[in-house]
């Protein structure tokens, strides 16, 4: 059976209310995505310390899944009327029913990110059994190794981590960076994230990889400084979080989730404390990494 998928745009003012109205009127599901994703205007959705939590992005794409017998135009018109907004334009696609678990898993395959370091989805067999194989099931969290921002940090970790390092992964997502640091031999690792689903996914992934890593929300963060801090978030939150991240880092810092034309602004935000430079580039994304001007005791 084919389902109906509608796509329409909505501002932050109307996005949440429109999504709620569509569900009330019989939509099977509604997802909101940042229409500016992949551009300099891309924005974090969750509230980092010092950031107010937006209810929606400034420009939203709503994807609405409907039963094939639903009158799409009537549904959209009625939902818009409930929200006191003009009826938006929308596009219609058909979505064929399929094995969604199998289809989702087919999007991911083992990735060699560095010599002797592989990221292997939990449902795949490691291609190189003698390598460091990190088994990842993303769940509802970001971080499978398939995104350039994650691969950039993983390569940097492979060339940086040693046994004496204590590592903080701020904005840990699926836990992939923290787990990689532990598997690469770091002496102590901590992961912090504001998303409860990320903390669940990260803890499950740590268990799969037989490493012991506490993954905590900011409210439960034990604090302290770390030899190495990594943060794969987005440029704007990284800029706002600069004083917080600086306060946690003793020596080595790596920042990712930054587009090429955002690098200078991020480096400027951290310039009082760190000498950062572009240490990797892939698919328009860059990794900024470096050390403190003066290593703290």
pTM listed for this prediction: 0.69
Judgement on whether residues 72 and 178 belong to the same structural domain of the protein: no
Does 122 fall in a domain?
Answer: no
Does 257 fall in a domain?
Answer: yes
CB-side exposure of 246: number of CA atoms within 13 Å? 18
Judgement on whether residues 230 and 93 belong to the same structural domain of the protein: no
Please give the pLDDT value at position 287.
98
Q: How many domains are contained in the chain?
A: 2
Judgement on whether residues 89 and 151 belong to the same structural domain of the protein: no
Please give the pLDDT value at position 102.
52
Does 110 fall in a domain?
Answer: no
Q: State the residue range of the domain holding 15.
A: 2-97
Structural contact between residues 273 and 250, judged by C-beta atoms closer than 8 angstroms: no
Judgement on whether residues 160 and 241 belong to the same structural domain of the protein: yes
CATH of the domain at 76: 3.30.70.120
Judgement on whether residues 269 and 200 belong to the same structural domain of the protein: yes
Judgement on whether residues 148 and 90 belong to the same structural domain of the protein: no
| Burial grade of 190 (CB within 10 A; 0-12, 13-18, 19 or more) | buried
Three-state DSSP state, 207 = helix
Judgement on whether residues 284 and 154 belong to the same structural domain of the protein: yes
Judgement on whether residues 157 and 267 belong to the same structural domain of the protein: yes
Alpha helices in the chain (DSSP H): 15-24, 72-82, 100-105, 148-160, 176-183, 196-208, 235-240, 242-248, 263-270
What is the CB neighbour count within 10 angstroms for residue 256? 29
Judgement on whether residues 173 and 256 belong to the same structural domain of the protein: yes
Does 56 fall in a domain?
Answer: yes
Who's near 168: CB < 8 A, 6+ residues apart? 189, 190, 191, 192, 226, 228, 229, 230, 248, 249
Who's near 41: CB < 8 A, 6+ residues apart? 58, 59
Helix axes 176-183, 148-160, angle to 10 degrees: 20
DSSP annotation of 23: H
User: What's the rounded Cα separation, in Å, for the pair 60 and 30?
Assistant: 12
- Of 77, 97, 117, the one marking the end of a domain is 97
- In the block, tokens 């900011």 appear at 218
Does 230 fall in a domain?
Answer: yes
Does 125 fall in a domain?
Answer: no
Judgement on whether residues 92 and 149 belong to the same structural domain of the protein: no
Name residues of the chain where pLDDT drops below 70: 1, 43-56, 96-108, 138-143, 295-297
Q: What percent of the chain has pLDDT over 70?
A: 87
Please give the pLDDT value at position 238.
95
Across the beta sheet with 249-259, the strand order is 215-216, 188-192, 166-170, 226-232, 249-259, 285-292, 274-282
- Of 97, 121, 155, the one marking the end of a domain is 97
Judgement on whether residues 237 and 172 belong to the same structural domain of the protein: yes
Phi, psi of 166 (to 5 degrees): -105, 130
Judgement on whether residues 211 and 93 belong to the same structural domain of the protein: no
DSSP annotation of 56: S
- Of 81, 97, 113, the one marking the end of a domain is 97
User: What's the rounded Cα separation, in Å, for the pair 199 and 217?
Assistant: 8
Does 167 fall in a domain?
Answer: yes
Most distant CA pair in the chain, distance:
67
DSSP annotation of 88: P
CATH of the domain at 170: 3.40.50.150
Concatenating the DSSP letter of every residue in 268-294 gives HHHTTTEEEEEEEEETTEEEEEEEESS
Does 264 fall in a domain?
Answer: yes
């Amino acid at each position: 059976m084919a389902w109906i998928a509608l796509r329409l745009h909505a501002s932050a003012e109307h996005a949440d209310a429109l999504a709620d109205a569509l569900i009330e009127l019989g939509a099977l599901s509604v997802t909101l995505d940042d229409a500016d994703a992949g551009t300099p205007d891309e924005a974090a959705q969750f509230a980092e310390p010092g950031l107010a939590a937006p209810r929606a992005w400034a420009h939203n794409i709503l994807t609405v899944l409907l039963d094939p017998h639903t009158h799409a135009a009537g549904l959209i018109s009625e939902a818009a009327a409930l929200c006191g907004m003009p009826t938006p334009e929308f596009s219609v696609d058909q979505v064929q029913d399929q094995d969604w678990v199998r289809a989702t898993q087919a999007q991911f395959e083992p990735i060699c990110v560095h010599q002797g370091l592989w990221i292997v989805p939990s449902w795949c067999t490691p291609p190189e059994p003698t390598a460091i194989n990190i088994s990842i099931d993303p769940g509802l969290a970001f971080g499978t190794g398939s995104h350039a921002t994650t691969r950039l940090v993983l390569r940097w970790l492979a060339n940086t981590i040693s046994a004496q390092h204590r590592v903080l992964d701020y904005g840990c997502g699926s836990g992939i960076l923290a787990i990689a640091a532990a598997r690469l031999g770091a002496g102590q690792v901590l992961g912090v994230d504001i998303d409860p689903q990320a903390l669940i996914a990260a803890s499950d992934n740590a268990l799969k990889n037989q490493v012991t890593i506490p993954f905590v929300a900011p409210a439960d963060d034990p604090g302290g400084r770390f030899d190495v801090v990594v943060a794969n978030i987005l440029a704007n939150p990284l800029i706002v979080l600069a004083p917080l991240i600086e306060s946690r880092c003793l020596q080595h810092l790596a920042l990712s989730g930054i587009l090429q034309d955002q690098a200078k602004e991020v480096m400027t935000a951290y310039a009082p404390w760190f000498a950062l430079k572009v240490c990797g580039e892939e698919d328009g994304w860059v990794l900024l990494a470096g050390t403190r001007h003066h290593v703290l005791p």
